[in-house]
Structure 1
Amino acid sequence: MIDPNLIDKIPEELAEVKPFLKSNLLPYIAITCQDQGWIRNASDPDLLPPWETKLGGYPYLPKDMDYPKDAETDRFLMFLGQIDCADVPELPGFNLPKQGLLQFYTGYVVPMGEWESTQHYIRYFPEFSKDEGDLITDFSFLEEERSYNHWYDHVYRLSFSLESDVFLDYRSGFSVFHPLDEPEHLPIWEEFYYEWFYEQDEYMALKGNGKLGGYPEVHSYVPETLDKAEGQLLLELDHPDDDGVYFYFFIDPEKLSQADFSQVSSYLVAV
């Protein structure tokens, strides 16, 4: 990534690159996780209300609705998190619904260094109740699954902010949607890209813990799979409980504008 703070730090001898980078800044929605504590077992109460925007904990689940399962194994999927769409700032070209609750369930972590398409389930509630009497609040039926599989115990409150980035690595090598027309006419471009840029470790980490919209970060084992992912980036998550594990969800932009989450594709990578 290359954010505006890094552009401002480009040395004078490479200053010709600055206008090009600034003209290619693209917006995205950064996600920040605020730790609320952890749940020891499935019989413990959640640390946040059932309808709140969060990572981990238990989902908003009406009493007349089943908890999602993996279609192949018939096991309960891990509840990754949920987003109250009203909490999310508007982003041009990213037509997330303006209200409703969007939930993400996923399968389990793949072997280190491997990309895989994952079993997942996306559930969207255009409207939702804040009456706990309408909801399932006892999730003790998940106890065996939580202890047997890789489930995260911490609960996080999520917040969102509008940011911008050039997404330099991704757009230089993998993006077919918004490729970067690299300035070959600039004699200092290679010196900037291959020498100075890659020395800026503190600016090359994902801001916050993930994003909505924008483009994926390029991690060690990601490039060979990025060209397989079709559609628009819906969610990228660098899970704060698991260093080096990244979740990605992609959606057709037209489906997103229709609030149709039935054909989302997902990937995860452990590096």
Structure 2
Amino acid sequence: MMGKIIAVHSYKGGTGKTLLSINLSAALAERGKNVCLFDLDFRAPSLSMLLRVDKAEHYLNDYLNNTSDIHKVLVDLSDRVGKKGKFFVALANPGTEAIRDMSAKDRKWEMRALARLLALRTPLLNDSGFDYLVFDTSPGLQYSSINAIVSADLVLVATTFDRSDVDGTRRMLRELYDLFEKKTEVVLNKVLEVSSKTSKEDIRTKLKDIYQVPLLGIVPCFCDILKAEGGTIFPQEKPDHPFTRILNEMADKIDGLP
């Protein structure tokens, strides 16, 4: 199977996008897939903190600035995450100056950055044998997010039932995703009540009517996930948790997509 690039996106912050990116990547690695997770949220990078990587020699910023090879950026966390498959991460620089620098990039730089993202297929998917590159994007319509979407084979949109999120996500799907003709699936997160198969089907029908795209999964609002504050990698640390079961179901679906 040819490797794929997955972009995980959201209309607004607070949808659980990064939590989904980390744990879905881990679920794929637990299936024996070779996965590399990228922090493309340059305005609020968090993967280094959540994955407890104190310092990297090179950052994704360096690769996009054309001052480092991508292989120097990758950090191997396979001994901690996804022991059946490889798990690497490409971190965004969390330093204040780096965040300011990335926030000030102009459109010409973003076009060059898009070319650098598109160029990842050969060294990583073809030559290094990664099955999935997972892009954790900035929320909203930042240039970096649009670049990630353009580069991706599949876009997962993390959303909630918050009214502003629903309205914004619907407009974003219609005005942006349709333009790029991207294969897109929605993950509905932080659902307060999913008590039966019937309620799940009702939610699926409602979401399909709203967004007109497939629903990859429904994630209830688990209190222990909130308490973990993103610090728990559920497929690795809590394999019997209901969230892990949902992640595995989503990983199965992704793995079965053409």
Whether TM-score is above 0.5 comes out as: no
Question: Whose helix proportion is higher, 1 or 2?
Answer: 2
Higher strand share goes to which structure? Answer: 1
Larger Rg: 1
